[in-house]
Structure 1
């Protein structure tokens, strides 16, 4: 109740949550741009002004707001008048330049400034709307602009009007011009801030619609969980204390990856009962909170992790009574040489402002003996006369790394966990990358040397051949008129028909109305002679018939199985088939988010992403002993390998986004219409510093993954804005790695063995397999299995109803659903047992359930249903058990190897034991066969729950039929103990 959540709400993963948000975004967009839209609506204005960019712009803004729902832009001060300030600064410059004789440069600049100022005269006398603000972003032609709406420096402006190049100008001229330029920047920044705030308010409505959509669907995403829990512990003191009593000791690992909301929840639960306004002021119960974290490994800012919060919590714990901060320095992973190099590189890095204090690591394991230094470098030089691109570095580095790996494997002895020595295996090597860019170059170089690769870092799903194959298949299933996709599928690698075979098939088709018939997915399979084409066509047509009533993920999974796609990909890729097969699963997972939208929207979005070559993660391949692992540094965190080689460090640093979330004050900043708010530059500078600090921590994580050998790239020609140059790893102090003396490893050929299995041996083995894997049979009583309809029910006696035959208006399944729902709400306390509110609730439920087809049928009477439900609730047997009744209880059990699962309408539970199982029935005139079937169903519930008795309640008849549990040791003949109970006539 305090959380304000639907008791039946369920948690959805990111795939479903994102699909739900995108669906609501599309609907919201349509509503804002529909006929009758407000003329000055920000979305309408943007659609008119930038029609080709508005969708991507709003989608990106919406995703940012969803990630940070509590963040907001900084509104500008309403009291300031930057339009007047700019006009005054221009007038001051103009008056000053008139005092200077014969200076054409100053005169030209003054006239340009006056022309610019004329467009903004007193524009803020009244509050402008979004359309007006957007028009103000267009300053018109002005020779003083350098880029966008930024004014040139005075020296550059003076050169436009005849000043000699390099002439600096007088100090007075520069001062007056700079005052005008500063006033212009304030004016444009003010306009931009207003645009941002108005657009943000429009997105508030989208977020409200998304929240309403989730409430209607009774679902929560992960952010909802955190926000609801924080709200509970912040606003409901009794809830916070109850949680604290239940969880007396809280242990948190990897605490450096938490955010402010999570920290507030932890401190609130572990705090004493004292009331305070701020969670930072809470006093913790002694020994209640135990946090473990390494701030040097805080590398998840993109997920909201905040190193400042870690430092704050560290200080708060240290200030507690009995609080202790223990520094752990022992390293149980790496060789001494690796530890010494890491300490020497990062001690100065973590000593600067913005980074956590560095605690030097202390090695604990004995030195090993290796044919190469434990820390070494390999140098990459690109010889070219022209410009050097990152692709050239990657290609050279990939070849060098592949050569190093092939020579180290089998030639270096590694000490294992059991203290034994064994040769280095491919699975002992990890190539860690700061990003996902062009990792296929490294994969290709390794595979050319017959080295297996297990990649966890690929972002090329939309460039893979299997994705194109699946896209062609899905397009055929979604649209029978898509002949291009049908031809690509039949001619492509999944089917493999040649052009000549396709022509022969088409030529063999009978004519239709004197015209030739073309081969398509709608062709009658009986007219196809080619066996492969005929089998594929039959499968496609069957899948197409079911596509309209099945979810895209189910249809895709079945299509993959029926067309043997996994077998084809395994044969096509050989030693690389694991990734291709994993990509199939990734595509199925993407389809799962379109369970409601359907197949066509999924195909449309997949086609758009394929055409744009969108970066999408490939399927995850499990690491294996025989495969070199390529993994991002983020995913490598917490793992270790005997040999670690950082790669792809020539990747350029991320360019700053036009949208910025500043963690320090939880504010949003972005650029609209090419105009930057005044706080955007400061926010970008702050985020840039934080990103630079995080890059150094990422390098720390990469270097500390190595156990025996750390091999670092040395790329003197790397660009200044690359990952390589973002930190000094002291490559000059490291020896060059020399593996030329090692022979290249080779893959042993599998030994061929004669197959001596006969048919008799095969049959015997098949029998043993069948015996060891018994068939699992589920029985769901509510499904009314046909094989149980004729079962004799010895433990039940069904008496004829004493009630008269009744005529009920609108009887049927709809009436039964409403009656069941009202009985559930009676038992949960959500519905008052009075005729008027019950009848009103029945009307509400009918309105939710009725469809267009139902409207043509006779509608159940709400008042009659209310009276029926109230009569049932008032039956003496029900009234007696009502305090112990729990509705809609899931049950399960087993009987003679058969698993039973279902849901009981209600269970009477007293002192932890199920005494009675109840089944509500709305039938008006149930036959003997129907009664026996209901009794059989209830008997299964009794076996699953262990209840001694069950109660069939025929609500319309006011009749109760008792059913004994045949497995109960207390079961006796019905006539011996009077178990027949009948309700009195109503």
Structure 2
């Protein structure tokens, strides 16, 4: 688009910034600039005289809030600098001075702010803690275990009912989870249902089994030929002899195991005609059994809700007693406070007179209610659906075509209602269609694909169609949409297709970057590539394929640390440590890869001892050495738990088991080490919040930080994530990976919001009845079909989100239909025309500066370009020396304190400096510098980033993480953080003279020195400074000799610091790894 062309949606964009007294719903298609619209509106409000303190901008994520806050700051600064109108300029400058008064954050942080401001009216303590999703899951499981244990005593009637229908209370945990996740929803039950007629169905089945008993030899022959139906029939024949036919749950379980007719293969039976009769009988029996199981699942449902229902308010009381609120509490308590207290509502309505909401298509329904309560004119109206928003009070931005979070309570029906209500009360709908992200070829392709998927007018399940207009012209180089084909025959193994796809993508990205593949005349770097998978569990496969080829990558939104191999290995051991009676966990650890005891050894041990347990002095003489070692590890770990803090104990246990070595030795070692270090870091955080060791184990069982990526690199890496994590992101080249579709797309819950209160239908499936529906809500057949329509519509929207991330190239992994298997990207495949193999990578655009840099770092010294570049650097050094002489005059020798120390001190005491080399010291210095500036530094992540950039291997990064974590907890670092002032990496330059014969000799031709240096860390305590010089090389040989070698350097620092500051100054040499300290005279002192 040229500068003279007018945007197709220019009118809508103008109204956003100028029509400030109108409520707007802005439907902004992908890449159309939602953040720009929000910031433009906020800037216009400021210019109109609205104080920032009266504006609240609610975002979907904390990252989005940070981006919006930064964009607002930049626009305010630019506008204030360019504004010529004095009044407007004054308002903009005032806004800059009061920038912190505007609220920009998530709905949960917005609610927390209001609750803390009015805790009495909200019925909360002002110092409540906010639980994130992982912590809430841990607390919920802890409560449920306690509730289940106490149920027989506290509610014997409910307990008796469960036993009567054969339900294990732990099978109700998912139902309880659904109820607590949807606190505003009433669970629908039908208590009038009678138990189904089990007798008639079972009688028919028993009659069939009687006939099969008479022809048992035929069934045995068929079973010997591998017939699955025959095997199951023989099982039922044998089990029937022990079946208690008076116990309905036992009969139901027996019937649920009846095989389907599809499992019988006629050729396996000796009498084919008889087998046909067996198959026909099985068809009718299976139909009656399935109908019976459906009735039974519905009959049991009300009994289950009778157990889980009372647990929900009790869990609320439990959270209250702990002084914590989860995300649902924050929303509900804010809603209730605003709805039921008109005075409080009027207060906050005036306080936040202008509400701007981003990503509204994925809002929680309670958030919509809170918004209307704050914006409504009628402060006494309690029905939010009847409220009339004040003029200009609401500005809602979203794209219903990108509504993809139904599993997190996002409801497109709520979006539709809010949109229609705003329009019905005088608001307007604006549409943004100009896409500034993607090339015209990509926009046109997206329009063609989704023209048939989005209707012209929105429906209850689906958003309306809005075509994209390309907002930029075609650039240089290839662009458009390509596919990576994986032809398969017959029943292809899904893992093989995924692996092939991951390898192909990694290979192509590696070749493209290494050969200088260009777009718009610029070679693409690793960070220009984005790999998206449909689901988070597959991200590690694609990351592994990249890292095996040496390609740096960052994983976001995958199973991540919660599914790391090391954690899977570690958990059984931790369970055994925390629970002495858990023989299952003990057995899993003993047989697992961390212990590796074979079954024969375990069998001999159990046969001799009659049980499997370890305890003090449990093992007699002659016990297998592997078992002895296992017991010692277990005893030592339990001792650590008893004498150490939970976080420290866990870190030491990981060290005892050699987990860092295990992680670093395998493929994708850097990422696995980073994941393990992150787990230990998060465990320390839980420890600091008061969690016990058992609490931390339960937290690990729930999968810590599954939504947290593993950002081991600060930049220069391919990004890998699932589509749900990619909203708002973009990249020049995007791969839609993994063409293998999931096996099951069935609905498991449905919430109807059509009536006065939401109605919930929550299915509970279990393997107990061969994967049948264990608990089935009323009207489930109707509700599940309705929910599946919503899910199918959302799958189309998910593909739309994926397809609109690319700026230049979109590559879709496809699977040829010969397999008869639907692809993950089936909605896109019919529109794919060009294979990726058609796209030739041309290295011609690698420019000369990039080549010079590469040659300088890796080149051959015989290469004339390399020699030319080195010559340039030498010339630059001489020019710098000339400038210094011009500034300070002739006769001064520029010299660093370190260089002077080496000249004066002579050879290093042990020949070569010991330790892990310069990169190790560089990383440690950098981490300590950052830790001094930020005591809450995320050490595992930062150590990974800095270490990788400096070339440390995974084992070194792991040791570095443990070392710096230990430093932060040391008494000496507490002294540093308690100091009045901390200055890290302070450079200085002074004119001085050599003050000893050795220094004169070291200085060379002149005694006048221009001395430069860098102080590692300076701390101010009272009126005196202490300069701390880190030493990262080994002091294990003789620290005294090393201190004598380095002390003149520190003495120089102390002298010049004292001259510059006019304050008392002392020095400390700190050998970081051994924890030894020496003063500037080389004398050993306490830190």
TM-score grouping bracket, smaller chain normalisation? 0.5 to 0.7
CA gap 1:356/1:552 in 2 versus in 1, 3 angstroms = same
CA gap 1:590/1:655 in 2 versus in 1, 3 angstroms = farther
* Pairing 1:760–2:901 present: yes
TM-score scaled by length of structure 2: 0.52
**C-alpha distance after superposition, 1:680-717 (max 9, x if no partner):** 11121111111111111111111110011111223222
- Output the CA distance in 2 between the equivalents of 1:259 and 1:220: 17
Partner of 2:502: 398
- Output the CA distance in 1 between the equivalents of 2:177 and 2:618: 52
Partner of 1:669: 762
Task: Please say which of residues 761-770 and 252-261 is displaced more in the overlay.
Answer: 761-770
Contact 2:486 2:815 survives alignment (8 Å)? yes
TM-score scaled by length of structure 1: 0.57
Q: Aligned runs of 1:172-571 on 2, under 5 Å?
A: 192-193=297-298, 195-273=300-378, 275-321=380-426, 323-351=427-455, 353=459, 354-370=461-477, 372-382=478-488, 384=489, 387-411=491-515, 421-459=521-559, 461=561, 464-467=564-567, 470-471=570-571, 474=574, 545=639, 547-548=641-642, 551-557=645-651, 568=661
Contact 2:533 2:723 survives alignment (8 Å)? yes
Partner of 2:670: 577
Contact 2:747 2:787 survives alignment (8 Å)? no
Larger radius of gyration: 1
Choose between structure 1 and 2: higher helix proportion.
2
Q: 1:642 aligns with which of 725, 732, 744?
A: 732
- Output the CA distance in 2 between the equivalents of 1:616 and 1:769: 29
Tell me by how many angstroms 1:575 deviates: 6.9
- Output the CA distance in 2 between the equivalents of 1:141 and 1:472: 33
Partner of 1:497: none
Tell me by how many angstroms 1:219 deviates: 1.2
Contact 1:427 1:623 survives alignment (8 Å)? no
Tell me by how many angstroms 1:629 deviates: 1.6
- Output the CA distance in 2 between the equivalents of 1:763 and 1:630: 53
Partner of 1:599: 693
Q: SS in structure 2 opposite 1:2?
A: helix
Q: SS in structure 2 opposite 1:327?
A: strand
Contact 2:196 2:296 survives alignment (8 Å)? no
CA gap 1:590/1:667 in 2 versus in 1, 3 angstroms = farther
- Output the CA distance in 2 between the equivalents of 1:548 and 1:301: 44
Contact 2:439 2:472 survives alignment (8 Å)? yes
Partner of 1:27: 146
Q: Aligned runs of 1:761-776 on 2, under 5 Å?
A: none
- Output the CA distance in 2 between the equivalents of 1:229 and 1:29: 31
Q: SS in structure 1 opposite 2:808?
A: strand
- Output the CA distance in 1 between the equivalents of 2:414 and 2:649: 46
- Output the CA distance in 1 between the equivalents of 2:362 and 2:407: 10
- Output the CA distance in 2 between the equivalents of 1:200 and 1:763: 83
- Output the CA distance in 1 between the equivalents of 2:760 and 2:928: 64
Contact 2:811 2:836 survives alignment (8 Å)? no
**C-alpha distance after superposition, 1:405-425 (max 9, x if no partner):** 12322556656xxxx842111
**C-alpha distance after superposition, 1:635-680 (max 9, x if no partner):** 0111001100100131325442555555665312325875745511
- Output the CA distance in 2 between the equivalents of 1:759 and 1:558: 42
Q: 1:630 aligns with which of 720, 730, 743?
A: 720
Tell me by how many angstroms 1:307 deviates: 1.1
- Output the CA distance in 2 between the equivalents of 1:597 and 1:444: 34
Contact 1:426 1:626 survives alignment (8 Å)? yes
- Output the CA distance in 2 between the equivalents of 1:596 and 1:250: 37
Q: SS in structure 2 opposite 1:712?
A: strand
Q: SS in structure 2 opposite 1:548?
A: helix
Partner of 2:172: 58
Task: Please say which of residues 663-672 and 592-601 is displaced more in the overlay.
Answer: 592-601
CA gap 1:775/1:133 in 2 versus in 1, 3 angstroms = same
Contact 2:747 2:788 survives alignment (8 Å)? no
- Output the CA distance in 2 between the equivalents of 1:522 and 1:399: 43
Q: SS in structure 2 opposite 1:285?
A: coil
Tell me by how many angstroms 1:550 deviates: 5.1
CA gap 1:571/1:652 in 2 versus in 1, 3 angstroms = closer
Tell me by how many angstroms 1:518 deviates: 9.4
Contact 2:138 2:698 survives alignment (8 Å)? no
- Output the CA distance in 1 between the equivalents of 2:300 and 2:572: 43
**C-alpha distance after superposition, 1:275-319 (max 9, x if no partner):** 434212211111111111111111111111111111211111222
- Output the CA distance in 1 between the equivalents of 2:440 and 2:535: 29
CA gap 1:141/1:247 in 2 versus in 1, 3 angstroms = closer
**C-alpha distance after superposition, 1:63-85 (max 9, x if no partner):** 1111112323333385x99999x
Tell me by how many angstroms 1:561 deviates: 7.9
- Output the CA distance in 2 between the equivalents of 1:209 and 1:203: 10
Tell me by how many angstroms 1:328 deviates: 0.7
Q: SS in structure 1 opposite 2:320?
A: helix
CA gap 1:407/1:662 in 2 versus in 1, 3 angstroms = farther
Tell me by how many angstroms 1:365 deviates: 1.2
When the two chains are superposed, the root-mean-square deviation of aligned CA atoms in Å is 5.6
Q: 2:129 aligns with which of 7, 10, 21?
A: 10
Contact 1:714 1:731 survives alignment (8 Å)? no
Task: Please say which of residues 461-470 and 428-437 is displaced more in the overlay.
Answer: 461-470
Tell me by how many angstroms 1:600 deviates: 4.6
List runs of 5+ in structure 1 lacking aligned partners: 88-131, 149-159, 168-176, 493-510, 524-532, 779-893, 900-939, 941-986
CA gap 1:404/1:769 in 2 versus in 1, 3 angstroms = closer
Q: How many residues align?
A: 670
